[in-house]
Amino acid sequence: MLSASSANLLVKALIGALMVLLIGVLSRTRNYYIAGLLPLFPTFALMAHYIVGSERGTADLKATILFGIWAVVPYLAYLTSLYWLVDRLRLVPALLVALGIWCVVAAGAVLLWQKH
């Protein structure tokens, strides 16, 4: 029998696997571009907001939501850089550079938020 925490981890892993499966299936359809929308489904945000809201209260939940709004900036930096890089580099190097840009911008967002 699974403990509550093990069952919780299993559910999260299954949700992640389902998202990967859906992205793979959608990428093979004529509406392949919808695969780019699925990573933005707030699966993990829902979990984070529930956990913070139930364990820390409304003020901390609102701060988490506000930071989540700012967290879109690193994703936009990733997408913008990748859009530009795919014409200039092979796919894997373009993805790695774009990921590096996401990391730098995300770290900047965290540092700026901490000074807030």
Whole-angstrom CA distances from 83 to 47, 87, 100 are 30, 8, 14
pLDDT of residue 4: 82
Residue 40 predicted with pLDDT over 90: no
pLDDT of residue 87: 98
**pLDDT band of 2, cuts 50, 70, 90:** confident
Both tokens of residue 14?
């299954």
pLDDT of residue 78: 97
Mean per-residue pLDDT, 14-40: 91
- Residue from 18, 17, 37 nearest 27 by CA: 37
pLDDT for 55-111, tens place per residue? Answer: 999 999 999 999 999 999 999 999 999 999 999 999 999 999 999 999 999 999 999
Q: Which residue has the tokens 């911008």?
A: 105
The residue ranges of every structural domain in the chain are 1-41, 42-116
pLDDT of residue 27: 95
**Average pLDDT of the chain?**
92
Mean per-residue pLDDT, 49-54: 93
Using the 8-state DSSP alphabet, how is residue 1 labeled?
-
Residue 47 predicted with pLDDT over 90: no
